[in-house]
Chains A and B, each alone.
Chain A
Amino acid sequence: MRLVTFAASNLKRRPARTVLTIIGIALAIGTAVALLALGRGITESLSQGFSERGSELIVGPRGIVDVTAMRLPEAMAGDLAAIEGVRSVAAELFAFSATGEGQHVLVTGWQPEAADWRSAPLLSGRLPAAGGREVLLGDIVAQTLSARAGDVVELFDEEFLVSGVTGYGTPMNRGMAIMSLGHLQEATFREGQVSYFTVQLETGIDAAEAAAVRKRIGDALPVIVSDMHELADQLQSDRNISVLRAVSQAISVVAIVMGALNLLSTLLLSVQERTREIGMLAAIGWSDGQVVRLIVLEGLCIGLAGSVAGVAIGVAASHFFGSIPSIGDIIAFAPRPRDILLPVLFAVPLSALGAAYPAWRAVRMLPAQALRQT
């Protein structure tokens, strides 16, 4: 018989207690997995959304640590377009608006001549008419607001006609309302301002030439130029996202530590109940190290079982949250291996640590003393 068989047999003696402890750890790991996926999902959703629309480069203001506070003068579009190697420039403004139903919708404003209008995948209806107070809704927003082409929705306390519904593939675009830049600037009191520019380079240029164009832009204007990968990295340092990520990580750590304390209490109780048995093991020649290994192994078994169940809960919770319109509209809520690995790598050693104290208590007694316990 191996030590692990004995450890498993000990855990089966009190199945309800073992299962409850595993559930405690599983919930902690599940919470951590879901929260870490949330923190990362926001930044990835933004860069995926831009990529889907064929954006190559994003030009934004330098030194901004709050993505919602990005501002550039709309007139800078002309300066950008004049730079050698730039094929087209589109200005965009974005803002969040409350809807009549008390939900929040990401609204973006595009210039009338932007190529994005022509490539927008329409599921129903048509593009907004020039000059009209009209809006395109992503399919998830349309579903959330129960709106179809031809309906009227309320954004920024004003009514807009839904001209059509788009069928983008990424959560950001599916959860976005699109109106003309002018209407959004007016509604948000940001006349002449945009959040960023999307830039497309001349076709057929190689990587070295693309880098040269980026350098020319950076030299000519007080802006930062990013491709989609760089954008995701830069968004990591966004103040709001950083705060959200820090809160997620703190809650994850608290959840996992609580899971480990739960394990500690279970093993303490188990060791206390088995004091005489541990005395017997010492009497038949088990060393202190063997007894410690047994109890730590029991802790590790619970920790591993809790981790496996926790990962399943975390993935399931992420899918569930992703299906809630107010969350799934904006965030790609799918845990990556890193989101799963981090809590597990934290929880499993913590389980061993949680078992170490009961193990130490188990071996500090003389065997005769342990055998006398009632």
Chain B
Amino acid sequence: MTEPALLRLEGVHRWFDHRRIVALADVTVAFRADESTALVGASGCGKSCLLNVAAGLDRPDRGAVYWKGRRISSRAEWARLRRAEIGIVFQEFHLIPTLTARQNVELARIGVERDGRDGAARVDGILDRVGLAARHASLPGELSGGERQRVAIARALVREPEVLFADEPTGNLDSANTEAVAALLFELQRERRMCLVLVTHDPALAARCGRVVRMSDGRIVEDTAKRGGAA
């Protein structure tokens, strides 16, 4: 039986430059728990824009986004969702250079809860899980690209979200690190039965996902489920 959608975009349009640039055109798509989806397509086809709208980082010009059937529109609602239910990893790691790996992860927990011991245990646990327990005190400048992306993944997952969006997570990594980070992402997705949505240009990475959504000129032109994944 098909899982109910966690996140659903319905009739979403996004324009830029006074409608001269169409980033998304009437996009309707749903993302479910325990599902890995690759968003693929040529550069500028609207993949990242779709991810931004789905994560509430951008606002649709028309259409709506629903979380578990409830329409989400205000900044505050989106912030609450990203604080609890949605994790995001970017191609550029966006780590704070003056904070240690551990402190960068802790950033995502500031203001989330008051139980410091529980919070500290979660941070330790996720750093251990991404293989950075020994390097928790290192500054980003002292870490390799792969390690930095692991810190970013730990930061996105420390709140145990139901959805993880990853925008070209291996785009800045060499092949060895690409493989390591990709393996980590899929392991975590399976362990936590998360919804993983990947934007990627890498066919090998896309092939590891249960579902591939292909975009062109702001539209979804193909939505294929594999190995029993939801389409």
Contact = CB atoms under 8 A, between A and B. Distances in A.
**A and B bind:** yes
B103 interface: yes
Interface in B2-58: 52, 55-58
A307 to B, nearest CB: 25
Contacts of A371: 57, 90, 94
A283 B58 CA distance: 10
Contacts of B110: 1-3, 6, 286, 290
Nearest to B110: A3
Contacts of B228: none
B156 A282 contact: no
A284 B107 contact: yes
Interface stretch (A9-17, A27-35, A133-141, A146-154): A9-17
Contact of B98 (A10, A276, A282, A369): A10
A284 B111 contact: no
A284 B94 CA distance: 11
A288 B94 contact: no
A9 B96 contact: yes
A13 B139 CA distance: 13
B82 interface: yes
Contact of A276 (B94, B103, B155): B94
A277 B57 contact: no
B108 interface: yes
B83 A287 contact: yes
A366 B57 contact: yes
B79 A13 contact: no
A12 B98 contact: yes
A113 to B, nearest CB: 77
Interface string B72-115: 00011001111110111010001011110001001110111000
A369 B14 CA distance: 13
Contacts of B81: 285
Contact of A277 (B82, B96, B155): B96
Contact of A9 (B88, B90, B99): B99
B98 A9 contact: yes
A368 interface: yes
Given A3-B111, A277-B94, A277-B96, A282 B79 contact: yes
B105 to A, nearest CB: 9
A204 to B, nearest CB: 68
Contacts of A367: 52, 56-58
B59 interface: yes
A280 interface: yes
Contacts of B211: none
Interface residues of A, number: 27
A19 interface: no
Interface in B56-70: 56-59
A277 B99 CA distance: 13
Given A6-B110, A277-B96, A371-B57, A284 B75 contact: no
Contacts of B83: 285-287
A336 B179 CA distance: 68
A127 B76 CA distance: 83
A1 B106 CA distance: 6
Interface string A344-371: 0000000000000000000000111101
Contacts of B148: none
Contacts of B79: 282, 285-288
Interface in A3-47: 3, 5-6, 9-10, 12-13
Contacts of A106: none
A284 B98 contact: no
B150 interface: no
B159 A282 contact: no
A281 interface: yes
9 contacts: A6-B96, A13-B97, A285-B79, A285-B112, A285-B159, A286-B83, A288-B76, A290-B110, A368-B52
Given A366-B59, A368-B57, A371-B90, 10 more contacts: A1-B110, A6-B107, A9-B96, A280-B94, A284-B87, A284-B156, A285-B83, A288-B75, A366-B57, A367-B57
